[in-house]
């Protein structure tokens, strides 16, 4: 069974199934399913997070593990990961040094906090990389019980979001590099090469560029992964609700209950491992919205191009935050609706001593602190508006 597997999510203690079902969650890979959403995992791979390497080492022969660690792919992945951690370390040290001795502490300190949050998000996803594919495999096995499900619409919507986020980041880097520091970097490189002098400032600028590149890749990648898990879970819940009216015998009802149980366990496993990453992502988006909005509203000497860049960045962060919160809140609503429908049908037609069920409701949370719901969306933007007015008034 799903709950007894070594690497599968822990079984929900509130859901008790007496009748054993033949429905099982396989532990093998699912290439066809992964191929449909390979672009998400390629973006993870670009920043050194190899989600494909999720096999249980206990089941792999030692000789194969030794050979595997000597391959070029393994060496490239290790070098890329170490290089990214070096970039993060240098970036944090440079910003901490600027905060310590710099004159504009008001501007440097928020940048330091954002840098620390991006590093924290990357590390949290990197540490949980072996759980990403496991969650996808479990969802794939559950979707096999829904033969009429078509994922084409969901795939195209995620591709459109990924394309939009990528194009925005490319345009953002081009504008930032050309108008803010591009000419200065080129000049410093030329002077450093011609005069044989060290160009440390140029190296710092290049490190900043790589740091923001990695940070702006990991952010939409995690958002797409979170949205994908929510979308697939809602498809399974919708399948259960649609087929519940066609159930006439206890065995068919048992299959739907077991499928519901496995989906709840998978969501619980998902929330346990990635609710902290969700919290960091929401914190990053809210800080980004606040900084961009404050810059446009209360700083008068900004050039027009900088205001246009700040406004577009603010809307992008708003899009990130809305997509995450809406995906989580709608998934929680689907979970509650499915549990209630199953409970009502059980009490009405299938209440039997052979089947003992406690239909508890698991929910996606923000770091186990707050349950995701629609009211949180209004509260978050209201908080940003309140603090913006407060700080703007105090600043004047």
For residue 240, pLDDT over 60 is answered with yes
For residue 340, pLDDT over 80 is answered with yes
Per residue in 110-141, pLDDT (tens digit) is 778 888 898 999 999 999 988 998 998 899 88
Give pLDDT, residue 199: 55
The larger pLDDT score, comparing residue 350 to residue 7, is at 350
Asked whether the beta carbons of 328 and 278 are under 8 A apart, the reply is yes
Place of tokens 């033949």: 22
Give pLDDT, residue 25: 33
CA distances (Å), origin 144, targets 99, 285, 300:
54, 35, 57
pTM for the predicted model, two decimal places: 0.82
Give pLDDT, residue 366: 93
Count the alpha carbons within 13 Å of 170 in the hemisphere toward its beta carbon.
Answer: 6
Asked whether the beta carbons of 358 and 16 are under 8 A apart, the reply is yes
Residue 119 CB contacts under 8 Å (≥ 6 apart), including other chains: 88, 91, 92
Give pLDDT, residue 147: 72
Confidence of residue 343 (pLDDT cuts 50, 70, 90): confident
Count the alpha carbons within 13 Å of 104 in the hemisphere toward its beta carbon.
Answer: 6
Instruction: Express the helix, strand and coil content of the chain in percent, nearest 5 each.
Output: 75, 0, 20
Confidence of residue 14 (pLDDT cuts 50, 70, 90): very low
Give pLDDT, residue 36: 74
**Which whole number is the average pLDDT over 269-273?**
95
**Residue 228 burial class via C-beta count within 10 angstroms: exposed 0-12, middle 13-18, buried 19 and up:** buried
For residue 23, pLDDT over 50 is answered with no
The larger pLDDT score, comparing residue 286 to residue 104, is at 286
Give pLDDT, residue 332: 95
Per residue in 36-71, pLDDT (tens digit) is 777 788 888 888 888 754 444 444 454 444 444 456
From the CB of residue 198, how many other CB atoms can be counted at a distance below 10 Å?
A: 8
Asked whether the beta carbons of 41 and 135 are under 8 A apart, the reply is no
Percent of the chain with pLDDT over 70: 71
Asked whether the beta carbons of 324 and 229 are under 8 A apart, the reply is no
Per residue in 162-192, pLDDT (tens digit) is 788 777 776 776 666 555 544 444 444 444 4
CA distances (Å), origin 188, targets 61, 91, 337:
53, 19, 61
Give pLDDT, residue 197: 46
Residue spans per domain, the chain: 37-51+63-395
**Which whole number is the average pLDDT over 184-213?**
59
Confidence of residue 396 (pLDDT cuts 50, 70, 90): low
For residue 247, pLDDT over 90 is answered with no
Token digits for 184? 């200065």
From the CB of residue 157, how many other CB atoms can be counted at a distance below 10 Å?
A: 12
For residue 208, pLDDT over 70 is answered with yes
The larger pLDDT score, comparing residue 149 to residue 335, is at 335
Q: Which uninterrupted H or E stretch holds 366?
A: strand 365-366
**Which whole number is the average pLDDT over 341-358?**
77
- What is the average pLDDT value for the chain, to the nearest integer? 76
Give pLDDT, residue 225: 92
Residue 47 CB contacts under 8 Å (≥ 6 apart), including other chains: 84, 122, 214, 217, 218, 221
Confidence of residue 9 (pLDDT cuts 50, 70, 90): very low
Confidence of residue 196 (pLDDT cuts 50, 70, 90): very low
**Which whole number is the average pLDDT over 280-290?**
93
Taking the C-alpha atoms of residue 146 and residue 129, their distance in angstroms, rounded to an integer, is: 27
The larger pLDDT score, comparing residue 204 to residue 332, is at 332
For residue 304, pLDDT over 90 is answered with no
Winning range, highest mean pLDDT, from 85-94, 111-120, 355-364: 111-120
Give pLDDT, residue 190: 43
Asked whether the beta carbons of 84 and 122 are under 8 A apart, the reply is yes
Residue 154 CB contacts under 8 Å (≥ 6 apart), including other chains: 228, 231, 232, 235
Residue 128 CB contacts under 8 Å (≥ 6 apart), including other chains: 273, 274, 277
- Longest CA–CA span in the chain (Å) reads 87
Residues in the chain: 396
Percent of the chain with pLDDT over 90: 22
Give pLDDT, residue 8: 44
For the chain, the first-to-last Cα distance in angstroms comes to 63
**Which whole number is the average pLDDT over 287-296?**
87
**Which whole number is the average pLDDT over 201-205?**
67
Taking the C-alpha atoms of residue 16 and residue 11, their distance in angstroms, rounded to an integer, is: 10
């Amino acid at each position: 069974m799903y709950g007894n597997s070594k690497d599968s999510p822990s079984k929900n203690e509130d859901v008790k199934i007496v009748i054993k079902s033949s429905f099982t969650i396989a532990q093998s890979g699912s290439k066809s399913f992964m191929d449909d959403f390979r672009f998400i995992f390629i973006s993870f791979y670009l920043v050194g997070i190899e989600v494909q390497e999720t096999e249980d080492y206990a089941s792999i022969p030692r000789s194969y593990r030794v050979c595997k660690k000597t391959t070029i792919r393994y060496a490239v992945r290790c070098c890329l990961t170490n290089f990214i951690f070096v970039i993060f370390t240098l970036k944090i040290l440079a910003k901490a040094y600027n905060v310590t001795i710099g004159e504009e502490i008001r501007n440097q300190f928020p940048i330091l906090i954002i840098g620390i949050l991006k590093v924290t998000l990357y590390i949290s996803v990197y540490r949980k990389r072996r759980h990403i594919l496991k969650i996808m495999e479990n969802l794939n096995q559950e979707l096999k019980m829904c033969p009429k499900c078509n994922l084409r619409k969901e795939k195209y919507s995620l591709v459109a979001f990924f394309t939009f986020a990528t194009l925005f980041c490319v345009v953002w880097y081009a504008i930032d590099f050309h108008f803010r520091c591009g000419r200065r970097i080129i000049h410093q490189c030329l002077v450093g090469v011609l005069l044989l002098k060290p160009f440390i400032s140029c190296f710092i600028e290049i490190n900043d560029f790589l740091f923001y590149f990695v940070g702006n890749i990991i952010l939409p990648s995690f958002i797409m992964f979170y949205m994908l898990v929510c979308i697939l879970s809602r498809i399974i819940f919708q399948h259960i609700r649609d087929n519940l009216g066609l159930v006439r015998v206890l065995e068919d009802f048992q299959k739907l209950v077991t499928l519901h149980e496995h989906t709840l366990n998978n969501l619980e496993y998902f929330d346990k491992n990635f609710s902290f990453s969700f919290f960091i992502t929401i914190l990053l988006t809210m800080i980004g919205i606040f900084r961009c909005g404050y810059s446009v509203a209360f700083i008068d000497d900004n050039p027009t191009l900088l205001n246009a860049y700040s406004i577009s960045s603010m809307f992008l962060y708003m899009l990130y935050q809305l997509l995450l919160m809406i995906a989580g809140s709608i998934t929680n609503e689907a979970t509650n609706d499915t549990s209630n429908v199953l409970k009502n049908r059980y009490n009405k037609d299938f209440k039997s001593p052979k089947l003992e069920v406690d239909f508890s409701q698991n929910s996606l949370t923000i770091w186990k602190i707050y349950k995701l719901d629609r009211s949180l969306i209004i509260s978050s933007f209201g908080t940003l508006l309140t603090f913006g007015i407060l700080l703007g008034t105090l600043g004047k």
